């Protein structure tokens, strides 16, 4: 059964305690003057309201949406029953506008709060999350690159959720390699937005490309100008509305954008994934001609962290649904003596192998949430810090961690979904249980917004070498300081020794990749996936070690919710016992180099 209660206690721990703890050395990303009004009380109130929306409005539509899916009839896409009403509630409640700038009608909440809210929405209903989610990616690009006129005209409507947004990048023959794209943009002469273009081409995999939730849709489309250079250096970004707005701002005539098909997908069935045809559709340039990739990456990078959070969201829902079943299902007896003497059997949560699965999911979720909180604090500091050093360090950290968050969280979210199915046994394979949907839904997050393999290449190929390795220092520095300070801790010394070992493996791997990769880029690429995992494992380990130390201090102070802090310490121990050892395997794989991976002739496959 799909059950979900927002993990507010853990979210608050991550937001208010984990990274801000002065005794352990805080991350320096807090205390931003611009965010002073967002007091802990206000933040908590927002999270509690978000939890209600997720639990009461979105969760009940998750399974029905999966069963019903979206339909396309006579060019019209219909979302599943209840989605329109839920979207209206969501929009009217101001949830579309949460993360956007007050200038455009947004609420300007800190990213720390937004990312936690996103997690809840994704836990409750991943398909639904894409409708407002893509709009937010679109507004980011418009805000950063479009002309003042376009901003003034489009942003308020998009920020409020009255109109939605899409990202139209992929074409049938090109996804990762956008240099090959063929969609054309032909200039039409000047107008009040600085000149329009006629856009023609076919785009695929467009999430929310068409739907029945908003009165207009604003497509952000990558296309080529007639004189554009070949490859990625000849791509421009255009804003193409579904309906051309009238002067009064209401949607006018149709703009030549049609839906060729909606995809039949493994999951995410309530999200309409469209094939769109642009037939001389009128559009406006966003940013500089031939610099579309830059604007696209702004949008994409924001989205990548969010897609990571999607993985976490599904992982948390899967965990909770598995816990519910493990307490409910009676089967077998505990090896340490009967636990439910009045029942015909014990609940399966007594069995070590079921515990192994539950604890694994729990550790993944708490570990990812801790990183999510850390990265969102950096996102806020990057934007709002008045200290140029902090700003720089925050920006470095975000750049470094974006591919890690995307790849790690989505891999682990998928693994959690699978573990949930395993906890349910045969019942998990039946659609009625609701948990196999988590597997199907979570699977896409490892692919879209750049496959996890692409994330890994971004990390080793772009982020590691940038500025002579400066990005990495924003991560290595706090970790090594922490290890130095606490490796002789009397309770957790062994845990921190484990972290030190994994961190040592990461440092060595970094040196190996830098050295070998300099001579042969294939060597770096061959190590990329395992290296990305290794960074993620060390980051989670660091967060868990901090969490354990903080929990111990709170317990010593006689904190009220001792159960929470005790569980945090146990989960941290489990992480170090059972999950961090994967770091050694990753290190050995990295060390082995590219030879056996690359030597087989293509024909031998």
Query: Whose Cβ is closer to a copy of itself: residue 263's or residue 382's?
Result: 263
Counting contacts by CB under 8 A, is residue 200 touching a copy of itself? no
Return d(Cα 388, Cα 390) in angstroms, integer: 5
Classify strands 163-168 and 216-223 as parallel, antiparallel or unpaired.
parallel
- In the complex with a copy of itself, which residue's Cβ is closer, 112 or 207? 207
**CB 416 to a copy of itself: min, Å:** 14
Does 597 bind a copy of itself (CB under 8 A)? Our answer is yes
How many CB atoms within 10 Å of residue 190?
9
Per DSSP, helices labelled H in 462-520 are 470-486, 493-519
Please state the length of the chain: 605
Least distance from a copy of itself to the Cβ atom of residue 595, Å: 7
Which of 455, 444, 480, 354 shows the shortest CA–CA distance to 399? 455
Whose tokens are 């709009």? That residue is: 135
Candidates 22, 190, 264, 341; binder of a copy of itself (CB under 8 A) is 264
Q: Which is nearer to a copy of itself, 255 or 437 (CB)?
A: 437
| 559 contacts a copy of itself (rule: CB under 8 A) | no
- Kindly tell me which of 396 and 436 has the beta carbon lying closer to a copy of itself: 436
Letters for 156-175 (x = contact with a copy of itself by CB under 8 A, - = none) are --------------x--xxx
Q: DSSP letter at 132? A: H
User: Residue 176, interface with a copy of itself (CB under 8 A)?
Assistant: yes
Q: Which is nearer to a copy of itself, 8 or 89 (CB)?
A: 8
Closest listed residue to residue 503, CA positions, set 480, 478, 531, 486: 480
In angstroms, give the least distance from the CB of 457 to a copy of itself: 7
Among the listed ranges 128-136, 183-191, 321-329, 373-381, the one in contact with a copy of itself (CB under 8 A) is 321-329
CA distance linking residue 137 with residue 304, whole number of Å:
10
Stretch that binds a copy of itself, among 214-222, 258-266, 364-372, 545-553 (CB under 8 A): 258-266
Choice from 70, 185, 358, 459 touching a copy of itself (CB under 8 A): 358
Site residues for a copy of itself, 77-136, by CB under 8 A, read none
Give the DSSP letter string of 357-412.
HHHHHHHHHHHHHHHHHHHHHHHHHHHH-S-HHHHHHHHHHHHHHHHHHHHHHHHH
Q: Which of 34, 42, 338, 588 binds a copy of itself (CB under 8 A)?
A: 588
Owner of token pair 């990213």:
111
In the set 16, 84, 184, 265, which binds a copy of itself (CB under 8 A)?
265
- From the number of C-beta atoms within 10 Å of its C-beta (0-12, 13-18, 19+), residue 355 rates as middle
Pick from 353, 387, 484, 515 the residue near a copy of itself by CB under 8 A. 353
- Pick between residue 31 and residue 340 the one whose CB is nearest to a copy of itself: 340
**Considering only residues 496-555, where is the footprint of a copy of itself by CB under 8 A?**
520-522, 525-526, 528-529
Binding mask 45-74 for a copy of itself (x = CB under 8 A): ------------------------------
Cα 541 to Cα 466: distance, rounded to the nearest angstrom = 25
Scanning 4-12, 276-284, 324-332, 552-560 for contacts with a copy of itself by CB under 8 A, the matching segment is 324-332
Beta strands 163-168; 257-262: pairing state: unpaired
Q: Is 561 left (phi over 0), alpha (psi -120 to 50) or beta?
A: beta
Q: How far apart are CA 495 and CA 489, in angstroms?
A: 9
Per CB under 8 A, the list member of 18, 53, 274, 354 interacting with a copy of itself is: 354
Q: Tell me, rounded to whole angstroms, the distance of Cα 280 from its chain centroid.
A: 34
Per residue, the 3-state secondary structure of 357-368, as one string, reads HHHHHHHHHHHH
Binders of a copy of itself among 328-347, rule CB under 8 A? 330-332, 335-336, 344-345, 347
Q: Applying CB under 8 A, does 2 fall inside the site for a copy of itself?
A: no
Piece of the chain touching a copy of itself by CB under 8 A; list 57-65, 210-218, 249-257, 353-361? 353-361
Q: Which stretch binds a copy of itself (CB under 8 A): 34-42, 82-90, 153-161, 588-596?
A: 588-596
- Count other C-beta atoms under 10 Å from residue 275's C-beta: 20
| Count of residues of this chain found to bind a copy of itself when the rule CB under 8 A is applied | 100
Nearer to a copy of itself, 75 or 343 (CB): 343
Applying CB under 8 A, among 257, 276, 296, 326 the residue interacting with a copy of itself is 326
- Return the sign of the alpha-carbon dihedral for residues 302, 308, 311, 314: negative
The CA angle 88-89-92, to the nearest 5 degrees, is 80
Looking at the Cβ atoms of 77 and 96, the one nearer to a copy of itself is 77
Q: How far is the CB of 410 from a copy of itself (least distance, A)?
A: 11
φ and ψ of 205, to 5 deg: 60, 40
CB of 227 to a copy of itself, least distance (A): 20
485 binding a copy of itself? (CB under 8 A): no
Question: Interaction with a copy of itself in 370-429: which residues (CB under 8 A)?
Answer: 414, 418, 421-422, 425-429
Map the footprint of a copy of itself across residues 444-463, applying CB under 8 A: 444, 446-448, 451-453, 456-457
Phi-psi region of 205 (alpha: psi -120 to 50; beta: other; left: phi over 0): left
As measured in angstroms, the least distance from the Cβ of 57 to a copy of itself is 26
**Given the rule CB under 8 A, which of 41-49, 128-136, 188-196, 264-272 is the region that contacts a copy of itself?**
264-272
Catalytic residue annotation: 449
Q: Cβ 351 to a copy of itself, closest distance in Å?
A: 7
Q: With helix as H, strand as E and coil as C, how does 190-255 read?
A: CCCCCCEEEEEEEEEEEECCCCCCCCEEEEEEEEECCCCCCHHHHEEEEEEECEEECCCCCEEEEC
The answer to whether the beta carbons of residues 437 and 497 sit under 8 Å apart is no
Residue 116 CA to residue 309 CA, distance in Å, equals 8
The correct pick among 27, 111, 210, 263 for binding a copy of itself (CB under 8 A) is 263
The least CB distance from residue 205 to a copy of itself, in Å, is 5
């Amino acid at each position: 059964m799909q059950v979900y209660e927002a993990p507010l206690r853990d979210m608050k721990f991550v937001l208010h305690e984990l990274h801000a703890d002065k005794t352990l050395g805080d991350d320096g990303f807090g205390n931003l003057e611009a965010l002073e009004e967002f007091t802990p009380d206000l933040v908590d109130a927002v999270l509690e309201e978000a939890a209600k929306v997720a639990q009461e409005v979105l969760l009940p539509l998750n399974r029905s949406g999966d069963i019903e899916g979206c339909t396309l009839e006579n060019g019209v896409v219909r979302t599943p029953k209840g989605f329109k009403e839920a979207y209206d509630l969501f929009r009217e409640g101001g949830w579309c506008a949460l993360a956007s700038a007050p200038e455009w009608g947004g609420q300007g909440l800190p990213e720390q709060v937004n990312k936690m809210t996103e997690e809840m929405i994704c836990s409750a209903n991943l398909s639904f999350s894409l409708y407002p989610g893509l709009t937010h990616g679109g507004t980011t690009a418009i805000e950063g690159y479009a002309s003042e006129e376009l901003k003034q005209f489009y942003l308020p409507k998009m920020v409020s959720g009255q109109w939605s947004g899409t990202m139209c990048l992929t074409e049938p023959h090109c996804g990762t390699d956008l240099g090959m794209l063929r969609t054309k943009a032909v200039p039409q002469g000047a107008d009040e937005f600085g000149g329009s273009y006629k856009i023609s081409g076919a785009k695929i995999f467009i999430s929310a490309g068409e739907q029945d939730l908003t009165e207009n849709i604003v497509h952000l489309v990558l296309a080529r100008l007639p004189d554009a250079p070949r490859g990625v250096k000849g791509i421009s970004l255009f804003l193409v509305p579904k309906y051309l707005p009238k002067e009064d701002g209401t949607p006018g005539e149709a703009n030549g954008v049609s839906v060729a098909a909606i995809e039949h997908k493994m999951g995410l069935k309530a999200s309409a994934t469209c094939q769109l045809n642009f037939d001389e559709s009128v559009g406006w340039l966003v940013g500089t001609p031939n610099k579309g990739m830059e604007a696209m990456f702004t949008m994409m990078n924001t989205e990548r962290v969010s897609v990571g959070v999607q993985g976490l969201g599904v992982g948390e829902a899967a965990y909770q649904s598995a816990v519910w079943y493990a307490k409910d299902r009676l089967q077998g007896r505990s090896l340490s003596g009967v636990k439910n003497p009045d029942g015909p059997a014990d609940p399966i949560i007594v069995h070590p192998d079921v515990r192994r699965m539950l604890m694994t999911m729990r550790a993944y979720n708490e570990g990812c949430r801790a990183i999510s909180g850390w990265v969102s604090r950096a996102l806020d500091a990057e934007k709002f810090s008045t200290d140029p050093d902090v700003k720089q360090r925050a920006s470095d950290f975000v750049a470094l961690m974006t591919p890690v968050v995307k790849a790690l969280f989505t891999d682990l979210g998928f693994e959690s979904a699978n573990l949930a199915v395993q906890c349910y046994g045969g019942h998990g394979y039946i659609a009625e249980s609701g948990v196999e949907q988590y597997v199907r839904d979570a699977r896409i997050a490892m692919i879209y917004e750049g496959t996890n393999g692409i994330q890994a290449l971004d990390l080793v190929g772009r982020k590691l070498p940038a500025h002579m390795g400066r990005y990495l220092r924003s991560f290595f520095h706090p970790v090594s300081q922490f290890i130095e300070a606490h490796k002789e801790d009397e309770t957790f010394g062994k845990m921190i020794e484990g972290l030190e070992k994994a961190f040592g493996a990461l440092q060595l791997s970094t040196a190996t990749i830098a050295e070998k990769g300099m001579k042969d880029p294939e060597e770096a690429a061959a190590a990329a996936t395992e290296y990305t995992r290794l960074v993620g494992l060390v980051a989670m380990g660091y967060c868990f070690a901090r969490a354990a130390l903080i929990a111990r201090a709170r317990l010593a102070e006689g904190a009220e919710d001792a159960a929470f802090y005790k569980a945090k310490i146990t989960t941290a121990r489990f992480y170090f016992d059972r999950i961090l050892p994967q770091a050694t395997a990753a290190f050995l794989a990295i060390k082995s180099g590219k030879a056996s991976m690359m030597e087989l002739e293509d024909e031998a496959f």
